[in-house]
Chains A and B, each alone.
Chain A
Amino acid sequence: MVGASYIPKKSFLHHLDARVKLAILFVILTLALTFSHPVYILVLLAVVILAWASAGLPFDFLKTLVKYFTGIAVLIFAIQVLFYPGETPLLKISAPIATIGFSGTISQEGVLFGAAMVLRLVVIMAAAPLLIMTTPLSELILALVKIRIPYRFAFILTTAMSLLPSLQNRAFLIQQAQLCRGVGDFENRNLLVKLKASASLLVPLILGSFRDSQVLDVAISSRAFGAPTPRTYLLETHLRTIDVALLIFSALALIAGITLRMLNLGIIR
């Protein structure tokens, strides 16, 4: 299972104001894109992993991410290594692939840059679920509204985020129902049958989602979604001292990161 959804726990991260978590996420993502040296990005990754551990989130989830990502990561790494125009050669190859743009040299910079690209993506993928898994949807909507995102968009955003886990649950249930009548046990079948059998999952899944969204439409309409009067919220959030402190800290981290970058640090030279 890959979809991230809220996991109720009592941790430091869970108690933080959602706006602060949004800010921290923003800083982490910006810094991940600012630096292109793997060591700097590794530091960011360490921060993210520490946060996972401190929030008591399941590392199984990260493992699954890594599992799905390995193939793409290898590809990205290989492309950077082969085509990065570096100056410190590690290996010279006079292979026929030289004709398709490969310079014939694998450089130290290329290897570092490839590693940085992969790490960068890992940081991004591991950081985003931190927010979703430690924040109830209602708080997340509120946080988005508080930073002046129109409620309608905040709602669309959070609904989309909660869609994946609910789709996964439904898919699991459908698979079980199909297994019970002999459909869905695809081993040793030819491709055509396999294709047809995949409809056994997709058709109920898609139709079910349509039905759900129709129900959601009626449900929110009957609760005056989009009414022209300004809405109020059941939940109210207040920034505590620790929230403010962390906001300032993440702002400083962002400034520090950008300064380093302007001093030509954290990149591959």
Chain B
Amino acid sequence: MDNQPVIEVNNLHHTYPNGVQALHGIDLRISSGEYIAVVGQNGSGKTTLAKHLNGLLKPSLGQIKINGIDISPMRISELSRIVGYVFQNPDDMLFCNSVEEEISFGLKLMGFEQSEKQERVEKSLKRMGLEQLRDQHPFTLSLGDRQRVAVACILAITPRIFVFDEPTTGQDYFGGQSIMETIEMLHADGCTILIITHDMRLVAEQAQRVIVMNGGRIAIDAPPGEAFKQLDLLEKLSLRAPQITRLSQLLGWQGEALLDVPGFCDWVEQSWRTQDEAKRW
């Protein structure tokens, strides 16, 4: 990780044409390879913020730099090679007759050579485990598979920054799990990840940094361990830490929030042991 932020947001304001002020002066630095979760109530400005990162929305005021370059004069098609944005509903994207065609269509329009295009399609299919489904019609696939096809389409463009808008909403447990694994994999490859989500367990277990939005402002910006410690503040923002975190705090855990079951077990085990020893004494 270098110190130069890959994403730099300065004093970002956004007002929608209908007069709704969605963002009030957001300042944000994101370093290369970070895994960030953006949470907050509906209408808190999460999606509005995310859509600025690849030019789908233009700032009313303020500036966004990606890799140190001001993105305001750039077109979405240019930006989409740097920032991949995966929409919540894959059906807004799919329209071709086969999975393979679906992935190659965007590449063709972006002007990739035939050989390079084919190589990218293959890589993308393999990465998303879609090789078996390459000739299938996207609409015959399950929602989870369609979501993977949508990710594969973005993946083929090989951006280094990924934005996922509520990737697990509407998915069953395994579907959600499989998408989270994909995102983890991209992160392991060194990509910068920003996910918008309501799933606190996912945030606790995967993200390195949590940004809590409220009324168009950043309310908390901290690692999950710190963010989920602030139970009162979270409650004010209508958010709840994961059950395991709350349980551990009820049982008297202090310090950085416990985020997952293994961590919780370690702690319980340890305290039991020390108690035993105390008794022994």
Do A and B make up one complex? yes
Q: Known contacts being A176-B56, A189-B109, is A181 close to B75, with CB within 8 Å?
A: no
Closest chain B residue, CB of each to CB of A188: B111
Q: Are A180 and B95 in contact (CB under 8 A)?
A: no
Which residues of chain A are within 8 angstroms of B80 by Cβ–Cβ distance? 179-182
Q: How does the 8 Å CB contact mask read for B32-56 relative to A, with 1 for contact and 0 for none? A: 0000000000000000000100101
Give the distance to chain A from B141, nearest Cβ to Cβ, in Å: 14
Q: In the assembly, what is the distance between CA of A179 and CA of B95, in Å?
A: 14
Q: Are A181 and B95 in contact (CB under 8 A)?
A: no
Closest chain A residue, CB of each to CB of B103: A181
- Which B residues between 59 and 109 are near A, CB-CB below 8 angstroms? 75-77, 80-81, 84-87, 89, 91-95, 105-109
Which residues of chain A are within 8 angstroms of B157 by Cβ–Cβ distance? 181-182
Count residues of B near A (Cβ-Cβ below 8 Å): 28
Q: Are B56 and A182 in contact (CB under 8 A)?
A: no
Q: Known contacts being A177-B93, A180-B80, A181-B93, is A207 close to B110, with CB within 8 Å?
A: no
Q: How does the 8 Å CB contact mask read for A224-255 relative to B, with 1 for contact and 0 for none? A: 00000000000000000000000000000000
Decide if A103 is an interface residue (CB 8 Å cutoff): no
Which residues of chain A are within 8 angstroms of B89 by Cβ–Cβ distance? 177
Give the distance to chain B from A133, nearest Cβ to Cβ, in Å: 13
Q: How does the 8 Å CB contact mask read for A4-29 relative to B, with 1 for contact and 0 for none? A: 00000000000000000000000000
Q: In the assembly, what is the distance between CA of A182 and CA of B77, in Å?
A: 5
Closest chain A residue, CB of each to CB of B93: A177
Closest chain A residue, CB of each to CB of B57: A176
Contact residues of A: prevailing secondary structure: helix
Q: How does the 8 Å CB contact mask read for A173-217 relative to B, with 1 for contact and 0 for none? A: 110111111110100010001001101101110011001000000
Q: Are B93 and A182 in contact (CB under 8 A)?
A: no
Q: Known contacts being A185-B75, A185-B109, A193-B109, is A179 close to B92, with CB within 8 Å?
A: no
* Interface bin, chain A: 20 to 34
Q: How does the 8 Å CB contact mask read for B211-251 relative to A, with 1 for contact and 0 for none? A: 00000000000000000000000000000000000000000
Q: In the assembly, what is the distance between CA of A203 and CA of B107, in Å?
A: 19
Q: Are A183 and B92 in contact (CB under 8 A)?
A: no
- Which A residues between 155 and 177 are near B, CB-CB below 8 angstroms? 170, 173-174, 176-177
Q: Are A180 and B87 in contact (CB under 8 A)?
A: yes
Which residues of chain B are within 8 angstroms of A211 by Cβ–Cβ distance? 91
Q: Known contacts being A180-B76, A180-B80, is A200 close to B85, with CB within 8 Å?
A: no
Which residues of chain B are within 8 angstroms of A193 by Cβ–Cβ distance? 108-109
Decide if B139 is an interface residue (CB 8 Å cutoff): yes
Which residues of chain B are within 8 angstroms of A179 by Cβ–Cβ distance? 56, 76-77, 80
CB within 8 Å of B: which residues of A? 170, 173-174, 176-183, 185, 189, 193, 196-197, 199-200, 202-204, 207-208, 211
4 shortest interchain CB distances as A-B pairs: A203-B95, A182-B106, A185-B77, A181-B106
